[in-house]
Amino acid sequence: MVRGPLQAGERVTLTDTKGRRKSLLLREGGVWHTTKGAVSHDDLIGGPEGVTVTSVGGMTYLAFRPLLSEFMVSMPRDAAVIYPKDAAQILMWTDIFPGARVLEAGVGSGALSLALLRAIGPDGSLHSYERRERFADVARKNVETFLDGPHPAWTLTVGDLVEAIEHEPIDRVILDMLAPWECIDAVGERLVAGGVICCYVATATQLGRVADTLRAHGGFTEPHATETTVRDWHAEGLAIRPGHGTSGHTGFLIISRRLAHGVSAPIRKRRPSPGAYGPDYQGPRPANIPAELGGAPVKPAAADAAADD
């Protein structure tokens, strides 16, 4: 998409000579005050992006429209956002494609929603669920600000996912919430065979609970858990070294695929670690692991027959 001159009402990113960024919403007659003097918005409005603007105190700034990754970390928020490094992993690992039917729960401030909408395009569908109306309002405003209006493929529902989920089939599921394991049964009923589920959680305890719940469900492949870190590098002449900035832990991704409905996951060849399902473990137990190794106990046939009677 070719874009013309900068206009009032658009957001720009100003970067100083030390690489520090400032997100600015342009308005006619507006002024941005800095420790190095003021910058007039009118010096940018009507001109192209990729130019420099100088403050009264002599500080020079580069002016560009923000990239999506820049907007995601600088936009207004009431809830924590999924950062670009994790959003990029989600898009790739879940194989989001143009036209995909995607369900997202825990919309937060709308950062991941923007990345998903760009990937699915106008022919796909993204149904986002958010329990808190305040967060939903912020997310809607952020999405419409970046896209200059509503996206035709986006539906935002305020409510609990398990209670409000619709019955249409879905291709991909992304859960970003405190207890995603509570929603696995509900989304599993609607996720098509071969579909992908991705849960984004912050702690190792949540990671373990999600993985165990997927195993205990029986209708998903063995979950794959990852953590992504990003390290900057400095390269100038002979001075090539790791940079001082490192983006460390933000969250874990747990990814699995839906088996055909009615098909159970095959018995795992790899035995669980000793003590993995010991007496202190209180979570869900996979049914396809022998009981002596900590799997869910299997009722004797006689007991099943009696129960049927």
Q: Residues annotated as binding site for S-adenosyl-L-methionine?
A: 109-112, 130, 160, 176
Number of CB atoms found within 10 A of residue 118's CB: 14
| 186 alpha carbon, distance to own chain's centre | 20
**Residue 91 is encoded by which pair of tokens?**
């898009």
For 135-163, the DSSP string reads HHHHHHHHHHHHHTS--TTEEEEES-HHH
Residue list, annotated binding site: 109-112, 130, 160, 176
Q: Read off φ and ψ for residue 49, nearest 5 degrees.
A: -80, 170
Q: Bridge-partner residues for 258, per DSSP?
A: 220
User: Side by side, which strands form the sheet with 11-15?
Assistant: 21-25, 11-15, 60-64, 51-54
How far is the C-alpha of 137 from the C-alpha of 131, rounded, in Å?
A: 11
Of the chain, the end-to-end C-alpha distance in Å amounts to 67
User: In the structure, how many helices (H) and strands (E) does the chain have?
Assistant: 8, 15
Q: What's the Cα-to-Cα distance from 131 to each of 111, 289, 295, rounded to whole Å? A: 17, 36, 34
- Pairwise CA distance, residues 97 & 86, whole Å: 17
Q: 3-state class of 75 per DSSP?
A: coil
d(CA 272, CA 287): 13
